[in-house]
Amino acid sequence: MKRITFISFFISLALYLSGQVQVGVQLESGMTTLRDISEEEIVPFGLSGATFEVSLNTYVYPSLMVRSSIGPKLYFRSGIGYSKNSFDIDLLYVQPQGGIRHNPTLSIDLAYISIPVGIDWTISTFRSWSLLLSLELTANQLVSSPDNFEEIIRERIGWVDRKSYANFLLTSSASLGLQKVLSERSLLALSVSYTTSISSLTNKDNSWGFFLNMDSSRMERTGFRLTYLRTLGV
């Protein structure tokens, strides 16, 4: 959490020193999945080397947003939000001794406090409408990570406090949409967004079994963003 606090301080300072400020809310929702999970048998236990299929799951990401003008039609944006990402991985594992087939589903729920930092660029199109392009990096601090791994494996884990997930996750995203000016002080925007993780979801130094296969994986999200902003001051 110290890293998130440090980032928040400098974002707040940058916004304070900049020009006209807009504040508002944003709701993002869509589908999420995991890509690039290794299929190799990295270790001979914990379902490592199992064949798998990752389901598409829905996600919701509400946030408070702040945006400040830094040039003609160019804006700096940030905020704070809460994102919850659920993953279901259907596994098929054949035990070397006896050829017994084991096909459980690994269910993972990862929740983060998220702080995005990005740039908005608007292009006027018709009257009060503008094209909106957004690019951002987001620092995500893990706050909860329940899963059913210990319920579906048939081996005993060698330690009690299993911390398989990285505490800090960095993601990048891009979105394209339309922005509508509602009044002199308020606007509404609807965009299509794509997000991918830059760092690994798992903690390789403290992973076990199939989570070693997930070290190379990347989270992907595709969804819609609805944003309402209101200008502070006069």
Query: Encoding tokens for residue 112?
Result: 């983060």
Q: Domain locations in the chain? A: 2-29+58-85+108-231
pLDDT digits (tens, 9 = 90+) for 163-188: 789 999 999 999 999 999 999 889 99
The single-letter DSSP state of residue 212 is H
- Cα separation of 163 and 206, whole Å? 6
- Cα separation of 178 and 190, whole Å? 6
The pTM for the full model equals 0.85
Query: Encoding tokens for residue 187?
Result: 């606007």
Q: Is-contact 230 186, C-beta < 8 A?
A: yes
The single-letter DSSP state of residue 46 is T
Location of structure tokens 């269910």: 107
Q: Is-contact 32 57, C-beta < 8 A?
A: yes
Q: Is-contact 36 196, C-beta < 8 A?
A: no
Q: Is-contact 150 107, C-beta < 8 A?
A: no
- Cα separation of 151 and 167, whole Å? 23
- Closest by CA to 152, choosing from 44, 47, 34, 45, is 47
pLDDT top residue among 50 and 121? 121
- Measured between alpha carbons, how far apart are the two ends of the chain, in Å? 36
Q: With 90 as the cut, is the pLDDT of residue 190 above it?
A: yes
pLDDT digits (tens, 9 = 90+) for 57-101: 999 999 999 999 888 889 999 999 999 999 999 988 766 666 667
pLDDT digits (tens, 9 = 90+) for 6-52: 555 445 545 554 567 899 999 999 999 999 998 888 777 778 788 88
Q: CATH assignment of 2-29+58-85+108-231, given 3.90.110.10, 2.40.160.20, 3.40.190.10, 3.40.50.280?
A: 2.40.160.20
- Cα separation of 148 and 105, whole Å? 9
